[in-house]
């Protein structure tokens, strides 16, 4: 007796708010958030741990995991001030009416990930 409900996906869907837009958790990968928090900051060790997690991801989580890797690499290269500047830059681009909805979604996902890393950077 096989039931389709017994094979539930463990992936987190992109979370949408009731009135449109995305929730602050959209794009976030819980396993990566746990590692970043446990490491107590963004470091080369954190990057290596996150890269290992990303190797085991698929679908949207893989895309989101790669956004974490890219953000961590930039933080390591440019310093913690990068996070604040990039969040401000993304917020400005989100206000631009000429930006496509797909790009706005990407910018929101990146912003959510940067917000998660902000406390640790």
The pTM of this model reads 0.78
User: Which ranges of the chain does DSSP label H, i.e. alpha helix?
Assistant: 30-39, 44-55, 59-78, 81-95, 101-118
At residue 120, does pLDDT exceed 70? yes
20, part of any domain? no
Domain-located, residue 19: no
pLDDT at 3: 41
For the stretch 40-86, pLDDT in tens is: 789 999 999 999 999 999 999 999 999 999 999 999 999 999 999 99
Is 6 domain-assigned? no
Distances, alpha carbon 115 to alpha carbons 8, 93, 94, 106, in Å: 29, 16, 15, 14
Rounded-to-integer distance, Cα 26 and Cα 112, Å: 7
> Is 40 a domain residue?
yes
Domain containing residue 90: 27-118
The CATH number covering residue 89 comes to: 1.20.1150.12
The larger pLDDT score, comparing residue 72 to residue 9, is at 72
Number of domains in the chain: 1
Which residue in this structure is represented by tokens 């995305």?
22
Calpha distance 93→83 (Å, rounded): 15
In the structure encoding, which two tokens stand for residue 54, read together? 């990303």
What's the confidence (pLDDT) of residue 21? 64
pLDDT surpasses 50 at 7: no
> Average pLDDT over the chain, rounded to whole?
84
Residue 10, domain member (yes or no)? no
Does 49 fall in a domain?
yes
DSSP 3-state of 6: helix
């Amino acid at each position: 007796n096989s039931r389709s409900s017994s094979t539930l996906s463990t992936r987190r869907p992109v979370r949408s708010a009731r009135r449109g837009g995305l929730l602050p958790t959209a794009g976030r990968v819980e396993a990566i958030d746990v590692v970043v928090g446990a490491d107590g900051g963004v470091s080369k060790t954190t990057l290596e741990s996150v890269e290992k997690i990303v190797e085991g991801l698929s679908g949207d989580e893989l895309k989101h995991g790669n956004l974490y890797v890219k953000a961590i690499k930039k933080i390591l290269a440019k310093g913690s001030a990068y996070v604040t500047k990039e969040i401000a830059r993304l917020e400005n681009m989100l206000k631009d009416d000429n930006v496509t909805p797909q790009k706005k979604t990407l910018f929101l996902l990146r912003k959510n990930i940067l917000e998660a890393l902000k406390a640790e950077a």
